[in-house]
Amino acid sequence: MNAPLTLAAFAAMDVGVLKGIGPKRQKGLADLEITSLYDVLTTYPRRYIDRTNQASIADLSLGEDGMVMVEVENVTSRQTRNRKSMVFVDVSDGTGRMRITFFNQPWRTRQLHAGMTAIVFGRCEDYRGSRQMTNPVVDLVGDQTGRIVPVYPNSEKAGIGTAELSKAVGEVLRRSGQRGFAEPLPAALLGRHDLVGRSQALRAIHAPETMGQVADAKRRLIYDELFRIQVALVRRKMQLAATTVGVPHEPNGVLVDGFFAGLPFALTSAQQRTIAEVFADLAGAAPMHRLLQGDVGAGKTIVAVAAMLAAVQSGHQAALMAPTEVLAEQHHASVREMLDGLEVADAGTLAGTRPLGVGLLSNRTTAAGRRKIEAGLAEGRIDLLIGTHALIQDGVNFPSLGMVVIDEQHRFGVEQRAALRSKGAGEAVPDVLVMTATPIPRTAAMTVYGDLDVSVLDELPPGRTPIDTRWVRLPFEGAEGELDLTGVDPAAEPGMWQHIRAEVEAGRQVYVVTPLVEESAKLEASSAEETLVRLQADELNGLRLGLLHGRVPSADKETTMASFRRGEIDVLVATTVIEVGVDVPNATVMTILDADRFGIAQLHQLRGRVGRGSHASFCYLVAAASNPIAEQRLEAMVATTDGFELAEVDLELRGEGTIMGERQKGRSDLKLASLRRDRYWVEKAREDAIELLTADPELADHAILAEEIEALLADDETDFLLKS
């Protein structure tokens, strides 16, 4: 009973064992996903007030972020002309006074009242000669004492703030003081990276005596998070390589050579490198699990087709699953065209060969067509089957599935991917290539997809037309309800519509994308249907306009897309349904309305729908500079068309939460580590994990670490590779 406490032990103890945690407080903590003592320990302070070096209102520098402890003097509120709420809070600290303005946060009038002490963190601005902060972070800390005061996340809704969390953390630290915290890391790793022990780190991050102690504690705990994930991923990868049997392939041969010889263009060096990586996997005994990421237009389909042909050449079948019917049909058409004229051996024919069989299966396939597909698969006449999730339905059976390609893999659930892979016959596991056109920063790929090998197509084929991206700034309502016209060019929007007319007159086509299908009273965003009516009556009167969104029936959707491809529609007004899989080389303008409501990845995907032909192409981002984050997103889009550069910007702006979302759920989320900021530690953690597991594959000599991984990383997370 005197052994040091492990994190697994803390994870098994309910937060209700702490003094003062009754049912109401327990529910509030649960709302913050704090249910165990492990969750309490790893709810880290988001900042600290150093009372030995505390800033004051008088010390705040204009235009810079600052943090001060203030007393609330007065709270007032009003509504703007468009019925948005504004709350004004006057504060002081003995050195000066300041006004804080909150937009659309009416609950602040309940949170803040005269006489209350609070810590505010935000950018100090000058407004009409007075200091002001807009929408700062507010922490209610109560009467905290000590040289350095930790500030924890607050939740007004849950009724939990710094005072409550400080008390809970303090009790956990006090009650574990005698036994201390178990150390899972070998002494060699601690020494190699000059890391403090876990006990010291956990105590210092919650109750530091100096800010230097905080820095040392964070470095250790950041490494812990990343190392734990990497050990789990590398261990699972090694286990699979040792225990699963792959489908044997001979990637080099007549069929693959014939495909390359028939291409009307030379492969880029990135394609050649990636194909070599894929072929090396296919020739190995273990099944391939490879992530292929490449920017829009980088030529991922060529790599995928080469991989599928390698399987066919080796006597097996291949499947390609796409997220939408539009994309599946487009893949089918382009793959059939690429493979036209290729033949495979068939002893059942007089000539001993037959044309390569390429099938298409989706929900639009008729019952008769489906029976034909199923028979063709069973008899081995269909070598490549392309389709949507219809591929995983009952009755679709492959006698010898050797290769699975999953396009835009993030659009499929884990179970859907697993179901397709399980279509293989016998014990051999088909090779899997998952593709994405959403570039992922290297460190994120190493962590989120750490159990897959990663290939990157970082080079665009020659002849791709650069896309001229322009931000058409719209005015927006400022702090006092006045229109903010900063950077707005009154001629920009009319000029954009004139340019669109000129492109149509020159025989080109245009996309106009909106965030919503119908008008919404809650969201001030353009809708596809309202926009179509407006453009027909006004800016684009006389042009041939079409409408496409998610609620359009499938048959009508394809009819509209076919008309657009044939040039019978000049301007396609659509939602993000056209984000992936629409390839119309004659389209030269992408206009995105309310562009500030889209993320960088979506904006980049939409922009990739143009620039696919030989004509100069343009992307217009129509939006107000409504907040700093949106402004940075739009400026990044204007500055570069490099998807990987944009992915780094996206990671910077959004943080890790959304990127880790598909992979890590619950306790294993990164709480301190940043895939952007801590790139060095991501790579070191992976190197260390490989070294440790090479020497001790079963973690027999690292029992505390093994127990920790089992307790903190759920099975469905570490099993991700099996279902990828």
| pLDDT tens figures, 455-503 | 888 887 776 778 999 999 988 765 555 566 667 788 899 999 999 999 9
Residue corresponding to tokens 């939740």: 155
Residues 270 and 347 in one domain: yes
Q: How many CB atoms lie within 10 A of CB 33?
A: 11
CA distance 704 to 231: 13
Number of domains, the chain: 4
- Tokens for 523? 């969201």
Could you tell me the residue range of the domain that residue 55 belongs to?
A: 50-139
| Contact in structure between 99 and 126 (CB atoms under 8 Å) | no
Q: Which residues pair with 327 in a beta bridge?
A: none
List the structure tokens of 609: 């729908």
Same domain for 352 and 482? no
Residue with tokens 């960088």, as numbered in its chain: 600
Q: Is 700 among the domain residues?
A: no
**Pair (34, 58) in one structural domain:** no
Are 322 and 387 in contact, with CB atoms under 8 Å apart?
yes
pLDDT for res 666: 35
Pull the structure tokens for residue 16: 């209700």
Give the burial class of 217: count Cβ atoms within 10 A of its Cβ; 0-12 exposed, 13-18 middle, 19 or more buried.
buried
Task: Flag whether the pTM goes above 0.85.
Answer: no
Are 501 and 566 found together in one domain? yes
Task: Judge whether 651 and 504 are in contact, CB under 8 Å.
Answer: no
Q: CATH number, domain at 530?
A: 3.40.50.300
**C-alpha closest to that of 456 among 265, 666, 275, 226:** 275
Please indicate, yes or no, if residue 495 is contained in any of the structural domains. Answer: yes
Cβ neighbors of 374 (< 8 A, separation 6 or more) are 395, 396, 397
Q: Which of 381, 415, 436 is the last residue of a domain?
A: 436
User: Which pLDDT belongs to residue 608?
Assistant: 87
pLDDT digits (tens, 9 = 90+) for 667-703: 345 788 887 788 889 889 999 999 999 999 999 999 9
Whether 224 maps to a domain, the answer reads no
Alpha carbons 555 and 552: distance in angstroms, whole number: 8
Angstrom distance (rounded) from CA 286 to CA 118: 59
Distance CA(21)–CA(38), nearest Å, equals: 15
The pLDDT, as a whole number, for residue 449 is: 66
592 in the same domain as 508:
yes
The candidate with the shortest Cα–Cα distance to 143, out of 51, 19, 47, 244, is 51
Q: How far apart are CA 362 and CA 422, in angstroms?
A: 19
619 and 475 together in one domain? yes
Write the burial class of residue 180 (CB in 10 Å: 0-12 exposed, 13-18 middle, 19+ buried): middle
Distance CA 233, CA 225 (A): 13
Residue 647 lies in a domain: no
Number of other residues whose CB lies within 10 A of the CB of residue 296 = 22
| In a domain? residue 714 | no
In a domain, 654, yes or no: no
By the 8 A CB rule, do 157 and 31 touch?
Answer: yes
Judge if 40 and 54 occupy the same domain. Answer: no
527 and 421 in one domain? no
Check which CATH number belongs to the domain holding 78 and give it.
2.40.50.140
pLDDT of residue 717: 45
Say yes or no: 262 and 376 in one domain: yes
- Mapped onto helix, strand or coil, the DSSP state of residue 513 is strand
User: What residue type is 580 in one-letter code?
Assistant: V
Co-location of 419 and 530 in the same domain: no
Asked if residue 259 and residue 359 are part of one domain, the reply reads yes
What pLDDT is stored for residue 389 in this prediction?
84
Residue 721 pLDDT: 35
The answer to whether residue 10 is domain-embedded is yes
The pLDDT value recorded for residue 655 is 60
CA distance 693 to 18: 37
Residues 8 and 61 in one domain: no
Please list the helix, strand and coil fractions of the chain in percent, rounded to the nearest 5, in that order. 40, 20, 40
Q: Of 436, 459, 490, at which residue does a domain stop?
A: 436
- DSSP conformation letters of 509-522: EEEEE-SBSS--SS
Which residues of the chain fall short of a pLDDT of 70? 1, 51-54, 141-147, 156, 158, 409-419, 421, 424-426, 442-443, 446-451, 463, 477-486, 517-526, 579-582, 654-669, 714-724
Number of residues written out for the chain? 724
d(CA 554, CA 562): 12
Q: Does residue 165 form part of some domain?
A: yes
Of 598, 625, 640, which one is at a domain's C-terminal end?
640
